[in-house]
C-alpha cells in the first residue's frame, strides 16, 4: 500500500475517538509500526509520534496531543493474534517497553529478516524499499525535533512512508523466508530480540558501558570497586529520574575519580562536586579501603590470545564466511567476532551451537575446534 497523501493532516490522530475508529477498521493479520522519538535530554526514549499502517489505511498517532488516551492502542498492540511489523525494531521496542511496560509481541523485524533473505547486512529501510519495491524515499526530514508542534505536512508524509511500504515488504519477505524454509530462523532471532531483560536497566553491569576505564594503567581491586559503585549509582539515578547519564557524571569524569582514588582515597573528599555525588564519594572513600581484599572483585584481566587461538580464530572466520555464502545470508546473522571468540573460550554456552546456527555453522566449527586440540 502506497497511498497518495493529498491531505497529510487528515492522517494525524490527536483524539482518542479517532484512534479507536482507526483501530476498529484494522482487519489484517498484521500491522506495521514505527516511532519517531528523541532522547537527547532523557535516559529513556521520548516517543513523539507513532505510525501505524495496514493494507486498508495508515495513520500517525500523536502521543503528545493534550487529552489523548492511548490505552486502546496499548491493548491493540498487546494482542497476541496480530503481528507487529517493524524495521530496525530495537529502539522502537525500547520505547514501547517504557510506555506499555512490556513488548508488543509478536513482532517481526524486516531488517533482521533481510539478513536471511540475502538482502545485505544492516540494510536501511530506504535501501530495502529501493531494492524490493523500486521506490525512492525522501528522507530529508530525518534529523528534526519531533517533539515540536505543529507537525508539518512534509513531516507527516515522511513519517507515514516508514510504515506504508512495510505493508508490501512484509508479505514479500515472508514468502521468500518460507520458500527458503527460514521462518524458524527468524522466529529464533525475534525471541532473542524480544528478551525483555534487554530493555531493563542493569546497574550492576553498568561499568561495562564506561569508556576509558583502566586506559592509563590496570585497576586494583579497590579501583574496580569504585568504578562499579559509581557506574551503578549513575545508572540507578539516571533510569529512575529519566535523565541522561552524562548529566549526572560523564565517563571522563568518572574515570578521573577512579584514577584519583587509586593515588589516594582521601583525594575523593577534595574533589569539587555537589551532593549527592559528594556524599557518595565521601562514603566510598571510607568503605572501599576498609573492605578486605578477599571481599572485592578483581578487575577483569585483559587476556591476550595464544597463538593457537589466533590461528583458530582466523580459521573460524573463514569458515563463517563460507557457511554464510553457502546459505546466502549475511555472515553477521550467524555471528560476530565476539561470538567467535566466545566459542573458542567457552563453547559450552555459545549461541553458535544453538538452533539453526548449529546446523549452518556450529557443528562444523566445533569439529574444527576439536581438530585443533589434537
Query: Could you tell me if 248 and 211 lie in one domain?
Result: yes
Query: Could you tell me if 215 and 158 lie in one domain?
Result: no
Residue with the three cell numbers 489484517: 28
Q: Which residues contact 81 (CB under 8 A, 6 or more apart)?
A: 29
CATH code at 65?
3.30.420.10
Share of the chain above pLDDT 90, in %: 84
Distances from the Cα of 156 to the Cαs of 56, 57, 70, in angstroms?
Answer: 18, 14, 19
Cis peptide before 276 (omega within 30 of 0): yes
pLDDT band per the 50, 70, 90 thresholds, residue 2: very low
Distances from the Cα of 144 to the Cαs of 24, 36, 149, 198, 249, in angstroms?
Answer: 32, 10, 12, 28, 27
**What tens digit of pLDDT does each residue of 97-118 get?**
999 999 999 999 999 999 999 8
Query: Could you tell me if 19 and 158 lie in one domain?
Result: yes
Residue 90 has pLDDT above 90, yes or no: yes
Q: How many CA atoms lie within 13 A of 187 on its CB side?
A: 8
Query: Could you tell me if 128 and 38 lie in one domain?
Result: yes
User: Is 2 part of a structural domain of the chain?
Assistant: no
Question: Is residue 266 classed as helix, strand or coil in its secondary structure?
Answer: helix
Share of the chain above pLDDT 70, in %: 97
Question: Is residue 182 classed as helix, strand or coil in its secondary structure?
Answer: coil
Answer whether 111's CB lies under 8 Å from 173's CB.
no
User: Is 301 part of a structural domain of the chain?
Assistant: no
Mean residue pLDDT of the chain comes to 93
Q: Mean pLDDT throughout 319-331?
A: 94
Domain boundary among 199, 225, 249: 199
**What tens digit of pLDDT does each residue of 24-83 get?**
999 999 999 999 999 999 999 999 999 999 999 999 999 999 999 999 999 999 999 999
- For strands 30-38 and 83-86, give the pairing: parallel
Q: Which residues contact 298 (CB under 8 A, 6 or more apart)?
A: 221, 224
Domain boundary among 169, 199, 229: 199
Query: Could you tell me if 52 and 148 lie in one domain?
Result: yes
- For strands 46-54 and 57-61, give the pairing: antiparallel
CATH code at 265?
1.10.150
**What tens digit of pLDDT does each residue of 302-315 get?**
667 788 899 999 99
Query: Could you tell me if 49 and 191 lie in one domain?
Result: yes
Query: Could you tell me if 155 and 290 lie in one domain?
Result: no
Query: Could you tell me if 186 and 44 lie in one domain?
Result: yes
**What tens digit of pLDDT does each residue of 241-251 get?**
999 999 999 99
Query: Could you tell me if 180 and 49 lie in one domain?
Result: yes
- For 215-248, give one letter per residue: b (16+ CB within 10 A) or e: eeeebbebbbbbbbbbbbbbbebbbeeeeebeeb
Query: Could you tell me if 81 and 32 lie in one domain?
Result: yes
Model pLDDT, residue 311:
93
**What tens digit of pLDDT does each residue of 249-300 get?**
999 999 999 999 999 999 998 888 888 999 999 999 999 999 998 999 988 8
Domain boundary among 199, 233, 254: 199
How many domains are contained in the chain? 3
pLDDT band per the 50, 70, 90 thresholds, residue 349: confident
**What tens digit of pLDDT does each residue of 117-126 get?**
989 888 999 9
Residue 245's DSSP bridge partners are none
Q: Which domain holds residue 48?
A: 8-199
**What tens digit of pLDDT does each residue of 127-138 get?**
999 999 999 987
Model pLDDT, residue 214:
75
Across 15-147, where does the E strand assignment appear?
30-38, 46-54, 57-61, 83-86, 107-109
Residue 31's DSSP bridge partners are 84
CATH code at 314?
1.10.150.80
Amino acid at each position: 500500500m502506497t497511498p497518495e497523501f493529498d491531505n497529510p493532516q487528515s492522517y494525524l490522530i490527536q483524539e482518542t475517538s479517532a484512534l479507536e475508529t482507526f483501530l476498529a477498521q484494522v482487519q489484517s493479520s498484521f500491522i506495521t509500526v514505527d516511532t519517531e522519538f528523541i532522547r537527547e535530554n532523557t535516559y529513556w526514549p521520548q516517543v513523539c509520534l507513532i505510525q501505524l499502517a495496514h493494507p486498508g489505511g495508515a495513520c500517525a498517532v500523536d502521543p503528545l496531543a493534550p487529552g489523548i488516551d492511548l490505552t486502546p492502542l496499548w491493548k491493540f498492540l498487546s494482542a497476541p493474534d496480530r503481528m507487529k511489523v517493524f524495521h530496525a525494531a530495537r529502539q522502537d521496542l525500547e520505547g514501547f517497553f517504557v510506555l506499555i511496560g512490556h513488548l508488543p509481541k509478536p513482532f517481526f523485524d524486516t531488517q533482521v529478516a533481510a539478513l536471511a533473505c540475502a538482502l545485505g547486512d544492516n540494510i536501511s529501510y530506504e535501501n530495502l524499499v529501493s531494492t524490493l519495491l523500486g521506490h525512492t524515499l525522501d528522507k530529508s526530514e530525518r534529523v528534526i525535533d519531533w517533539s515540536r508542534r505543529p507537525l508539518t505536512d512534509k513531516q507527516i508524509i515522511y513519517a507515514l512512508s516508514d510504515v506504508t511500504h512495510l505493508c508490501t515488504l512484509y508479505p514479500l519477505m515472508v514468502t521468500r523466508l518460507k520458500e527458503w524454509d527460514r521462518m524458524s530462523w527468524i522466529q529464533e532471532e525475534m525471541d532473542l530480540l524480544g528478551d525483555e531483560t534487554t530493555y531493563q536497566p542493569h546497574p550492576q553491569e553498568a561499568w561495562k558501558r564506561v569508556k576509558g576505564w583502566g586506559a592509563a594503567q590496570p585497576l586494583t581491586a579497590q579501583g574496580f570497586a569504585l568504578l562499579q559503585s559509581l557506574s551503578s549509582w549513575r545508572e540507578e539515578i539516571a533510569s529512575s529520574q529519566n535523565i541522561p547519564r552524562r548529566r549526572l557524571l560523564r565517563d571522563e569524569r568518572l574515570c578521573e575519580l577512579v584514577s584519583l582514588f587509586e593515588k589516594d582515597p582521601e583525594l575523593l573528599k577534595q574533589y569539587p562536586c555537589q551532593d549527592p555525588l559528594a556524599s557518595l564519594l565521601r562514603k566510598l572513600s571510607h568503605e572501599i579501603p576498609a573492605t578486605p581484599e578477599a571481599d572485592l572483585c578483581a578487575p577483569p584481566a585483559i587476556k591476550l590470545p595464544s597463538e593457537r587461538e589466533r590461528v583458530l580464530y582466523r580459521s573460524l572466520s573463514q569458515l563463517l564466511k563460507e557457511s554464510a555464502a553457502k546459505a546466502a545470508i549475511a555472515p553477521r546473522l550467524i555471528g560476530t567476532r565476539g561470538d567467535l571468540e566466545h566459542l573458542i573460550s567457552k563453547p559450552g554456552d555459545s549461541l553458535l551451537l544453538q538452533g539453526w546456527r548449529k546446523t549452518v555453522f556450529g557443528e562444523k566449527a566445533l569439529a574444527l575446534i576439536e581438530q585443533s586440540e589434537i
